[in-house]
Amino acid sequence: MDDANGFSEFTKQSSKGVIILYLNLLYKILKATWVLLFILIRPFLKLSEKNTIFVYVGIAAILLLLLFRAFLMYKNFQFKIENKYFVLKQGILKKTNTSISFDRIQNINFKQNLIQQLINVYEVSIETAGSKKTEIAIKALSFDKAQALKKQISIAENTAVEIGESKIKPLLKIGFLDLLKVSLTENHLQSLLIFMALLIGVYQQIKDLFKSFGKTEDLDSYLNEGTNALFGNIVLFVVLLGLLLLIAMISSFVRIVFRHFNLTVFVKNKAFEIHQGLTTKKTIILKKEKVQNITISTNPIKQKLGISFVTFKQALSGKIAKKKDKLIRVVGCRAEQITTIKAFLFDDASFEEIEKNHADTYFKTRMYFRSFIGLLFINLLTYFITEDVRMFLGNLLLFPLMVWMIHLKFNKTFYKMDDNLLMVANGRVEMHHTYLPFFKVQNIKMRQTLFQKRKEVVDLIFQTAAGKIKIPCIKKEAAMHIYNYTLFKVESSSNSWM
């Protein structure tokens, strides 16, 4: 490699980055204005030939201005490495300079969408702990330059990890058929709701389009006739429900394949290297010391198939932690792979012989009270809308379902702890086990309502850099023991939480 790849002087992206930046600008504008394009179709068709030429010239001028803007963004985006700091300067009219210490850098990830794959460049994103968004996204680097940048920062942290082809046997490799099994265990109701939301959005756009043509009454008439025909035919209604369920399952499969295609996990130099993605390929380096806690999730179908999902949580701001695309999740893990991951992160994380500590029965009482209030509200609201007493028959189904869900929630809420590690379990149909090393806790507090005070129970809340973990409704005496022990482990530990 030449000296330029040492990054001691300011370096630009690949010249191909102009294409990526230009297409990104076009995408943002189309995403914000595509509805207007449909609305303006009718007025555009009525324009004279002379005025049409002016429209085309205006569009061409806008495209050229965007291209010029993309070029300026490329030209002014420069970075270098200086004294264990990543230094970036960027901007067109408003110039900014950013300097990030290597100690704050949490992840350096590689990503390739379809366009980047076609022109053979990589996007390199640099994330820092606690940032509300990715601090830096370098849109176009050659593979060699991206590797060199990763190596420069990794060497400074003594955790060099080589990206790319590896002769090391992967910890986990998920094939196409395995992804099919994973998709069967997904929340299909969620996929169906997303699909329905998409349909509603499309309907609104179609309605706006018909309105621009003055055909709103025709659309409403057509929809009313179709709705009456659907609900008047039971067989057709059942077929539609079956079709929607099939669409939900296909949607789950497509989503899983696009996100986790060719999922491969390696363990290298105190870090996980994760490769996945179909249209957008991602490579994620997850360092052991950066992981705050992990959550292992399963459900009855996953258990039958012998698989679990592992979610790795790092130091992120609250806003970013809620975004699913920022969560690092490994799907389709077998029991032996789960054991390897826990042993790698926590050295010794065997909880099989440790007794479960369940929440106090007050927790169940509280759930019954809240659920009863919710059920009462639903009944009253439905009655005022329908004014039909027969709707109360629905409680014959809702009440047993409510009792069953509360029973599941209570039985699946417990905690275990050993000398160094806390495990908190929760869930209803799906089961989640969260593993938290005590020394990673940043703050711990006990919360108690007036009703809890009478029962001498508290909620124990652990604040970590990755968010909150709560043990609900345990006896105050047990909570005090955990509280004091956690403070002791935090104060006495010499390990860094980052």
Average pLDDT, stretch 408-423? 94
Q: How many helices (H) and strands (E) does the chain have?
A: 16, 21
Q: How crowded is the C-beta side of 92, counted as CA atoms within 13 Å?
A: 8
Question: What residues form DSSP beta bridges with 264?
Answer: 173, 275
Q: Which amino acid is at 161?
A: V
Which pLDDT score, from 0 to 100, does residue 470 have? 96
Q: Is pLDDT larger for residue 355 or for residue 241?
A: 355
Which pLDDT score, from 0 to 100, does residue 101 have? 85
- Our CA dihedral for 379, 366, 190, 412, rounded to 10 degrees, sits at -140
User: Is-contact 424 472, C-beta < 8 A?
Assistant: no
Percent of the chain with pLDDT over 90: 35
Which pLDDT score, from 0 to 100, does residue 288 have? 86
pLDDT interval class at 469 (50, 70, 90): very high
Q: What is the mean pLDDT of the chain?
A: 82
Q: Which of 200, 394, 175 is nearest to 263 (CA)?
A: 175
Q: What is the DSSP letter of 223?
A: H
Q: Is pLDDT larger for residue 233 or for residue 115?
A: 115
User: Is-contact 405 462, C-beta < 8 A?
Assistant: no
How many other C-beta atoms lie within 10 A of the C-beta of residue 341? Answer: 24
Residue 165 above 80 pLDDT?
A: no
Cα gap 374→256, rounded to integer Å? 34
Average pLDDT, stretch 66-73? 94
Q: Which amino acid is at 471?
A: I
pLDDT interval class at 232 (50, 70, 90): low
pLDDT interval class at 167 (50, 70, 90): low
From residue 290, alpha-carbon distances to 104, 130, 338 in Å are: 10, 12, 19
Q: Residues near 157 by Cβ (< 8 Å), separated by ≥ 6?
A: 102, 105
pLDDT in tens, 343-381: 899 876 677 788 999 999 999 999 999 999 998 988 888
Percent of the chain with pLDDT over 70: 79
Which pLDDT score, from 0 to 100, does residue 160 have? 47
- Name the region of 164 (left: φ>0; alpha: ψ -120 to 50; beta: rest): left
Cα gap 252→239, rounded to integer Å? 20
Q: Residues near 202 by Cβ (< 8 Å), separated by ≥ 6?
A: none
pLDDT in tens, 478-494: 999 999 999 999 999 87
Q: Which of 286, 283, 317 is nearest to 107 (CA)?
A: 286
pLDDT interval class at 181 (50, 70, 90): confident
Cα gap 13→269, rounded to integer Å? 29
Ranking 18-22, 214-218, 319-323 by mean pLDDT, the lowest is: 319-323
Question: What residues form DSSP beta bridges with 299?
Answer: none
Radius of gyration of the chain (CA): 28
Cα gap 121→12, rounded to integer Å? 13
Which pLDDT score, from 0 to 100, does residue 255 have? 85
Helix (H) or strand (E) holding 298: strand 291-298
From residue 75, alpha-carbon distances to 152, 221, 461, 493 in Å are: 23, 56, 49, 47
What is the SS3 assignment for 371? helix
User: Is-contact 320 345, C-beta < 8 A?
Assistant: no
How many other C-beta atoms lie within 10 A of the C-beta of residue 91? Answer: 12
Token pair 């901007």 in the structure block, residue: 91
List phi, psi (to 5°) of 357. -115, 105
Q: Residues near 306 by Cβ (< 8 Å), separated by ≥ 6?
A: 334, 335
Which pLDDT score, from 0 to 100, does residue 25 have? 93
Which pLDDT score, from 0 to 100, does residue 321 have? 42
pLDDT interval class at 263 (50, 70, 90): very high
Which pLDDT score, from 0 to 100, does residue 140 have? 92
Q: How many residues does this entry show for the chain?
A: 498
Q: Write out the two tokens for 397.
A: 């189904």
Which pLDDT score, from 0 to 100, does residue 370 have? 93
pLDDT in tens, 90-122: 988 888 888 888 877 877 888 898 899 999 999
